[in-house]
Structure 1
């Protein structure tokens, strides 16, 4: 996940993690679960541990916060030896998010998020303010969701609360153990995008475990490809691993679709984002219609989040913008990949997709023409081969652009 210029404006809040010759041997086992792992996880970056089931990637990650104690070796966090820190205090200073959120079922959403701040003896107002801030940060309304119980949430909502809870005490390090593995593919993509938006804002040190190489390419600043006993087969940027797998094992794990993974290396924020007229629900319908003219525009809520699109026909005779227009289809984030954006546009058969930034606020729109040009250039740069989107008449993207109209926007 290459940081943009905008990301650089946010200070790094994470700290460096160093593993030096770390091993784990369980009692009664002849072979170590993890053997002699050494790597440095840079401050403020996302490092993804990826490998097959049983490779020891989760064990390696859990040794960082001492949920599993290493048999030998040394782990330092921000320059401090993890073994020199009280285990409970160490875990309170490291966020931990797991599959399906791991929420306490007898606690409300607000109570779940407040667990660590309460242990740290924060005062009630500080805790309440932090809960509201975090729910807003992960895209959930505090008044609507704070009093609900986990059983009253969807899988994606539970996962968002799990991330909020992990961030509650503002830890410098966040460990994430296949956190999005139990949700449907569409929700998973949304959660991935949201994590990238949060990371652009917060700049934590994140260690993320997955068995999905596509997810690793999308999220990671660096990827550690792990083999048996967590042997580090290759540790590099996604670009470097895709272009030059270290050996046949890594090449096989990357898979035959490696060239398509290149689409995950370029973000929506890296291409041209166009603007459309915008208005809030309380604004004048007549003024908005005058600004739209023959074009189309976006209606925003009170927090500048896009909710509907409209054109002049919808505004004829309207006394208010409230309730006018058509709900948006799938949106993309500035941190979404070009593959995400292309899939969103083609799935909805729309000529463009609305782009959101931090906290879901409106940024602009990205068009199919922009994506096609960018993808062609990317493929030519990396492979010197024809673009993935064929410009001929049987290309669905070409059909889409030919039929582009305000109704075909999302």
Structure 2
């Protein structure tokens, strides 16, 4: 559903100054729009007015062409997914009960709810049998955030609001959660409004970015590419920062470059056949759901009677939705100068290599040759030097 804000303002009782003043913008249906701005700029207030957690003082907000104020507030919120920092889970409810909150309010039958909970846990990478009956205190921060996203998606809402949902997790987990969200969006095509203060996160996730200033004034509203190439003013330039050339790596996804294949096997497969396929190279061992779990080479298979337990754990993997920046970081941490790529539900897709990445960066540089502000002529040389250091 398209969301339109027309001259929206919010002034809190007892305050002379508006927290949000005269904001107008259109969020296209099925697109991922990121509000980015400094603390206190009103970006969260602006987002919360969409589902009327905060009522606007003036102006008009339409969702799918319907005035939000004409919809019962509770029904409106039940039709809009909402995910916040640390998941916002109810501590006295199990994971399954947390996810089922809105479907129960909508009076879904028990079987439909149970099926939906299982489907969503699988979708966000958690095993239903293992996690359904746990309580939030028994989960890691990343697991809590996954459950929070599952709960927001429970009733399959057309709109999803996300208020700095990954701000409280460590950088590695944050990157993985971002990738999973992008993978979900590729499948579901929700209209997503996402609030962050991290411009790199905005570039990675957003189809469009709204850079907001004081009182949520829209300083620039455009694609990440356009904002990186042509910041509207000095304030936006400050958000872009000096690392604009590296930000270009966040504009291409792993799915946009060549993905190579390596031999694969499951634990019950023939050792001899797997060894023959690997030859002088290396291969990947998959679990029963075709998710990569370990890598191995011919040395690991010598004398082995079973693939079970053979090889070494995989390091950091990337998904098809990951950016080339993510892929670079994963590759530089691996001894094979490549990173394993996963797709929907974490299933194996292939590998991306440092050679492919260097060629992609070189092509990206040539494409943007007319924009010296965002091109680093030595970017691919730096990547190549880093790769040599890992070999």
Task: Give the drift of 1:322.
Answer: 1.6
Q: Does 1:31 align with 2:17?
A: yes
Q: Which residue among 382, 397, 401 is the counterpart of 2:387? A: 397
2:63 corresponding residue in structure 1: 77
Task: Give the drift of 1:380.
Answer: 3.5
Q: Which residue among 104, 107, 112 is the counterpart of 1:121? A: 107
2:93 corresponding residue in structure 1: 107
2:322 corresponding residue in structure 1: 336
2:194 corresponding residue in structure 1: 208
1:136 corresponding residue in structure 2: 122
> Which deviates more from structure 2 when the two are superposed, residues 384-393 or residues 320-329?
384-393
- In 2, Cα distance between equivalents of 1:85 and 1:139: 34
Whether the aligned pair in 2 keeps the contact of 1:375 and 1:387 (CA below 8 Å) is no
SS at match of 1:389: helix
1:48 corresponding residue in structure 2: 34
> Which deviates more from structure 2 when the two are superposed, residues 376-385 or residues 313-322?
376-385
- In 2, Cα distance between equivalents of 1:172 and 1:342: 34
- In 2, Cα distance between equivalents of 1:64 and 1:180: 21
Q: Does 1:148 align with 2:138?
A: no
Q: Which residue among 385, 388, 403 is the counterpart of 2:379? A: 388
Measured against aligned partners, the alpha-carbon deviations of 1:72-95 in whole angstroms (never above 9, x if no partner) come to 111111111111111001000000
Whether the aligned pair in 2 keeps the contact of 1:20 and 1:38 (CA below 8 Å) is yes
SS at match of 1:390: helix
Q: Which residue among 292, 313, 317 is the counterpart of 1:306? A: 292
Whether the aligned pair in 1 keeps the contact of 2:36 and 2:212 (CA below 8 Å) is yes
The list of structure 1 runs, each at least 4 consecutive aligned residues, that deviate by more than 6 angstroms after superposition, is none
Task: Give the drift of 1:227.
Answer: 0.6
Give the alignment's Cα RMSD to 1 decimal.
1.4
TM-score by length of 1: 0.92
> Which deviates more from structure 2 when the two are superposed, residues 306-315 or residues 20-29?
306-315
1:371 corresponding residue in structure 2: 357
Q: Which residue among 170, 176, 179 is the counterpart of 2:156? A: 170
Task: Give the drift of 1:283.
Answer: 1.5
Measured against aligned partners, the alpha-carbon deviations of 1:269-313 in whole angstroms (never above 9, x if no partner) come to 111110011111221222212222222111111111101111222
1:224 corresponding residue in structure 2: 210
Measured against aligned partners, the alpha-carbon deviations of 1:357-392 in whole angstroms (never above 9, x if no partner) come to 111110100011111121122233324652313279
SS at match of 1:39: strand
SS at match of 2:17: coil
- Runs (5+) with no aligned partner, structure 2: none
1:8 corresponding residue in structure 2: none
Measured against aligned partners, the alpha-carbon deviations of 1:156-195 in whole angstroms (never above 9, x if no partner) come to 0000000000000000000000000001111110100010
Whether the aligned pair in 2 keeps the contact of 1:379 and 1:387 (CA below 8 Å) is no
Task: Give the drift of 1:316.
Answer: 2.4
- In 1, Cα distance between equivalents of 2:322 and 2:175: 9
Whether the aligned pair in 2 keeps the contact of 1:380 and 1:386 (CA below 8 Å) is no
- In 2, Cα distance between equivalents of 1:387 and 1:267: 21
TM-score by length of 2: 0.96
Q: Which residue among 79, 82, 95 is the counterpart of 1:96? A: 82
- In 2, Cα distance between equivalents of 1:88 and 1:128: 23
- In 1, Cα distance between equivalents of 2:125 and 2:382: 38
Measured against aligned partners, the alpha-carbon deviations of 1:112-148 in whole angstroms (never above 9, x if no partner) come to 1011111111111111110000000000000111111
Q: Does 1:179 align with 2:165?
A: yes
SS at match of 1:396: helix
Number of aligned residue pairs: give it: 386
SS at match of 1:206: strand
Whether the aligned pair in 2 keeps the contact of 1:175 and 1:207 (CA below 8 Å) is yes
- In 1, Cα distance between equivalents of 2:236 and 2:277: 54
Q: Does 1:159 align with 2:150?
A: no
- Runs (5+) with no aligned partner, structure 1: 1-14, 404-410
- In 2, Cα distance between equivalents of 1:399 and 1:372: 15
Whether the aligned pair in 1 keeps the contact of 2:358 and 2:383 (CA below 8 Å) is no
